[in-house]
């Protein structure tokens, strides 16, 4: 292992990063036009991806909202699990690692944007996380890690320094949708169809093929942004049961500006799929400790 890689890994520990991986740009040959690392940083040779886990104490605030009706506690998840702190921490870590590379090697380093408040999209960080060996795609299309399941936030740095790549995840299959399907069962709008009901998307990374469900993002945003009273909103800003992108934009125009946080329109009102995914020692952390009664308590039979 190169000295630079060792020093970056040591720095990541000092920054509170929970996991880190390295991928060569050869693993991005199937990236869409404009989204290849070299489209962002010409001469890029390595993509570094790190993960910062969500606190179990933050995840349990979602259980209080979903299982106990304490929707006021969703603000804890908003601040420490979704919108603010993990993304700021990831942004600062991206910057620190990029500075370290430029200050200690001849390489150029570009930190990528992180989180839901960023204005821009450079590369797919979730695809980069899989390419760097941090986990695999779950049925939901988000990255699942063995240690933390999907309860983790990622950051990425592109660099012209050539750093030894890590092997991709090759352990036991983490997501087994036909045996599980919890993400689909707890989705209040049917954005995540049950296995066999939804079109599957396929992607190949370094010769390994992955597939995941084609999530209906307008339906997902309907829940994330609480666009109806039944989903926790103040009014029924959206009446369509199967909205399109234009319906969502129109509903957003009708929604009042929220001055309580940094987002004008909150997007943290759901998160059931991430919260109840059993991967990442969920049972030991939450079920056996009494922090959650289990996903069955929020299964919704009639989609909204």
- Predicted pLDDT at 195: 83
Confidence bin at 157 (pLDDT 50/70/90): very high
**Dihedral through CA 62, CA 68, CA 230, CA 141, nearest 10?**
30
Question: CA nearest 133: which of 249, 239, 16, 27?
Answer: 27
**Dihedral through CA 300, CA 53, CA 55, CA 215, nearest 10?**
-20
In degrees and rounded to multiples of 5, residue 157 shows phi and psi of -130, 135
User: Average model confidence (pLDDT) for the chain?
Assistant: 91
- Predicted pLDDT at 119: 63
pLDDT of 303 above 60: no
Mean pLDDT of 64-70: 94
- Predicted pLDDT at 103: 97
- Predicted pLDDT at 262: 60
| Structural contact between residues 57 and 63, judged by C-beta atoms closer than 8 angstroms | no
Question: CA nearest 185: which of 286, 74, 69, 302?
Answer: 302
Q: Which residues of 45-82 are buried (b: 16+ CB within 10 A; e: fewer)?
A: bbbbbbbbbbebebbbbbbbbbbeeeeebbbbbbbbbb
- Predicted pLDDT at 84: 84
Q: Measured at the alpha carbon of residue 142, what is the angle toward residues 250 and 229, in degrees to the nearest 5? A: 35
What CA–CA distances, in Å, run from 105 to 97, 109, 114, 184, 208? Answer: 12, 10, 24, 46, 32
- Predicted pLDDT at 198: 75
pTM of this structure: 0.92
Mean pLDDT of 166-179: 94
| Structural contact between residues 133 and 205, judged by C-beta atoms closer than 8 angstroms | no
Which sign, positive or negative, has the C-alpha torsion 142, 144, 145, 149?
Answer: positive
Tens-digit pLDDT profile for residues 246-284: 999 999 999 887 665 566 678 889 999 999 999 999 999
- Predicted pLDDT at 187: 94
């Amino acid at each position: 292992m190169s000295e630079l890689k060792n020093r970056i890994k040591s720095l990541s520990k000092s920054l509170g990063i929970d996991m880190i991986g390295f991928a060569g740009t050869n693993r991005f040959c199937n990236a869409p036009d404009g989204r290849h690392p070299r489209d962002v940083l010409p001469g890029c040779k390595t993509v570094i991806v790190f993960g910062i886990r969500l606190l179990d104490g933050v995840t349990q605030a979602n259980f209080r909202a979903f299982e106990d009706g304490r929707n006021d506690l969703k603000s804890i998840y908003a601040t420490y699990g979704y919108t603010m702190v993990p993304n700021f921490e990831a942004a600062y870590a991206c910057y620190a690692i990029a500075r370290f590379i430029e200050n200690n090697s001849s390489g150029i380093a570009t930190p990528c944007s992180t989180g839901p408040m960023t204005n821009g999209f450079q590369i797919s960080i979730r695809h980069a996380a899989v390419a760097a060996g941090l986990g695999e795609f779950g049925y939901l299309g988000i990255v699942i890690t063995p240690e933390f399941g999907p309860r983790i936030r990622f950051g990425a740095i592109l660099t012209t320094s050539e750093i030894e790549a890590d092997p991709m995840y090759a352990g036991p299959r983490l997501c087994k949708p036909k045996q599980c399907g919890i993400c689909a069962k707890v989705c209040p709008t049917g954005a995540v169809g049950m296995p066999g009901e939804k079109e599957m998307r396929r992607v190949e990374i370094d010769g390994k093929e992955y597939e995941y469900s084609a999530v209906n993002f307008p339906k997902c945003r309907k829940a994330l942004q609480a666009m109806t009273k039944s989903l926790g909103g103040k009014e029924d800003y959206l009446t369509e049961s199967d909205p399109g992108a234009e319906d969502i934009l129109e509903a957003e125009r009708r929604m009042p500006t929220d001055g309580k946080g940094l987002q004008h329109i909150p997007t943290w009102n759901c998160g059931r799929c991430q919260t109840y995914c059993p991967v990442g020692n969920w049972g030991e952390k939450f079920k056996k400790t009494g922090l959650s009664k289990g996903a069955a308590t929020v299964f919704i039979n009639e989609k909204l």
